[in-house]
Structure 1
Amino acid sequence: MIKKIYLTLIICCLYGLSLQAQYAYFGSRGTISFDKVTYTKARIRQMSNDMNSKGMDRGMGMMEYLDKVPDSHTEKLNFYFDENATVLMPEESQGTEKQRTEVKMAAPTISSANGRGGRSQGAARSGGNQRGQFRGGANKNGKVLYQDLKAGTADIQLDIDEKYILSETLDSITWRFTEEFRNIAGVNCRRVNGATKDSLYLIAYYSEEIPVSAGPALSHGLPGMILGLVIPEMHIQYWATNIAYTNKLVPSDWRDKKSKKMKLAEFSEIFGRYMPRNRQNESAKKRILEQLVY
């Protein structure tokens, strides 16, 4: 009888440890710290080349300031996730005027084609100084990106002259799996190559250890969390640096009650004129998404 009791206790302990390990390994709620790296000089150089190719004098003028800007700029972001939603926002400590100025110079960031996981995929999409006018939402410290994973929708909060919350349906991304793996923030991740419906090339590293189909910059559609995201064409990279699991749902207090709510298409009609045209057939929605999402 005593042996049976001991055996039962041992089984219960082992089962409890198994559940605890499983929860830690397959946590579906938590916070991920991301570094968003913008390769500033590469972006300015590409913008200048694009302008020169179109006969715009401003292209050469931009090159005069190239030596005065850093090679890259890094933003610290917090990514909150649960089974149904995600929120990506800047860390509170980044709200200084100096940092916002640096972001203006770099905006809308670009990833180094030679950076971690990235490779060159052609020219970066060009943009003018107007892009730097778009500031963020929470505490005037950067835009906030929200995903409703169940409804397949997104909200983008930003601050121009006043705050807006833009609603949009999440566009599908076509992913192709590879047999390349790498460790990011202590988690084994698999590389996939993707393309948006506007043919923007993406490189993502995801892990099924976090069973939430989401990632930074509204990325989604994989059987796990995206911990590394590279947009070579725009010289932007996102890399997870730390993962903390929790039982809490994503915060809901990021929304500013005074924000104007509108659809992204409506926003395009109002502010599309501020977005430089990169190609004659490029839509206002595409240009604005490029600025706001990535």
Structure 2
Amino acid sequence: MKNILITIICFLLLSGNFVLAQDSHFITSGTIEFEKSSNIYAIFSRNVNKDNEAYMKPVFEQLKKTQPQFKVLKSTLTFGYNKTLFVPTPTENQNSSFGYVVAAEQSNTIYTDVATSSSVAQKGVFEETFLLKDSTRKINWKITDETREIAGYTCRRANALILDSVYVVAFYTDKILVSGGPESFTGLPGMILQVALPHENIIWRATKVNDIKIPETTLIPPKKGKVATNKTFRATLDGAMKSWGNYAQSYYKAFLL
């Protein structure tokens, strides 16, 4: 009986050490598959007001009859060597009805060099493509004690405010040793696996993390587009949409994310 107890205790100790060894595994390179989910109905309804409801309400009703409530788009974040490259997955079926909901689209390709706090972002704005070369966005994150399991990783919550009014909720893991995330969301002590914009009805969520060796030569910035900085890009948007009134705000925020 004594020998059996000793065997059980040894087994439990060995199992505990194995779990700890698994838990201490850190990732330095790989790919992350993301899904962006946008509540089309909620986003579109914010653009309907008393000044345009005569023609916007029928469009909204038609949208609800012909399109699903949520639009889901995929993307891949490749990371390694303190660099990240966020690339949207091309979609074959682009329905024109979604053209009214620019926030639900996903056209940005973003390269980030964490070590130098710099980024190169290729952004499509209507019929034009811009190439923004600038420093990474400074986000004043507030880390909380809340945790959540995402793509097999225990992630900690952090909150922030960007673009003066856009509330951001992110969940990151410190088991991935690159301070990156989807789109241009960075700056936490680990990899961001989920970003939600609750008031914008948009969420990016990691569905799979691939712990693989990534050749550094694959982490290269995009090259096509009209070169600009964040400041000159904002000025271009201001000039193009200055006569749009409040209707411009949804486009403005979508292009600057």
**What TM-score does the superposition give when structure 1 sets the normalisation length?**
0.69
Higher strand share: 2
Identify the residue that residue 227 of structure 1 maps to in structure 2: 193
- Contact 2:63–2:97 (8 Å) recurs in 1: no
Deviates more, 1:22-31 or 1:236-245: 22-31
Q: For residue 88 of structure 2, what is the amino acid of its counterpart?
A: P
Identify the residue that residue 202 of structure 1 maps to in structure 2: 168
CA-to-aligned-CA distance 1:25-71 (integer Å, 9 cap, x gap): 211111100000011011111221xx33xx34454344333423210
For 1:292 and 1:196, locate their aligned partners in 2 and report how far apart those are by CA, in whole Å. Answer: 13
1:164 counterpart (130, 144, 169) = 130
Q: For residue 109 of structure 2, what is the amino acid of its counterpart?
A: V
CA-to-aligned-CA distance 1:85-108 (integer Å, 9 cap, x gap): 21111124x2x2x22646534321
Deviation at 1:277, TM superposition (A): 4.2
2:77 counterpart (59, 76, 79) = 79
Structure 2, unmatched stretches of 5+, are 1-17
Within the alignment, does 1:292 sit opposite 2:251 as a pair? no
- Contact 1:203–1:229 (8 Å) recurs in 2: yes
Within the alignment, does 1:148 sit opposite 2:113 as a pair? yes
Deviation at 1:170, TM superposition (A): 2.2
Within the alignment, does 1:174 sit opposite 2:140 as a pair? yes
Structure 1, unmatched stretches of 5+, are 1-17, 110-131, 137-141
Deviates more, 1:188-197 or 1:238-247: 188-197
CA-to-aligned-CA distance 1:126-178 (integer Å, 9 cap, x gap): xxxxxx7xxx7xxxxx3212222122222221344343212233232222222
Q: For residue 47 of structure 2, what is the amino acid of its counterpart?
A: M
- Contact 2:111–2:222 (8 Å) recurs in 1: no
Q: For residue 180 of structure 2, what is the amino acid of its counterpart?
A: A
Change (3 A) 1:253 1:155: closer
For 1:150 and 1:183, locate their aligned partners in 2 and report how far apart those are by CA, in whole Å. Answer: 28
Deviation at 1:208, TM superposition (A): 0.5
- Structure 1 stretches (4+) deviating beyond 6 angstroms? 21-24
Q: Secondary structure at the match of 2:103?
A: coil
For 1:105 and 1:79, locate their aligned partners in 2 and report how far apart those are by CA, in whole Å. Answer: 27
CA-to-aligned-CA distance 1:190-226 (integer Å, 9 cap, x gap): 1122222613211111100102111112111211111
Identify the residue that residue 38 of structure 1 maps to in structure 2: 38
Q: For residue 28 of structure 1, what is the amino acid of its counterpart?
A: T
Please show how residues 36-115 of structure 1 align to structure 2 within 5 Å. Answer: 36-48=36-48, 51-52=49-50, 55-57=51-53, 58-67=55-64, 68-92=66-90, 94=91, 96=92, 98-99=93-94, 101=96, 103-109=98-104
- Contact 1:171–1:197 (8 Å) recurs in 2: no
Within the alignment, does 1:278 sit opposite 2:246 as a pair? yes
Count, aligned residues: 233
Change (3 A) 1:149 1:287: farther
Identify the residue that residue 12 of structure 2 maps to in structure 1: none
**What TM-score does the superposition give when structure 2 sets the normalisation length?**
0.77
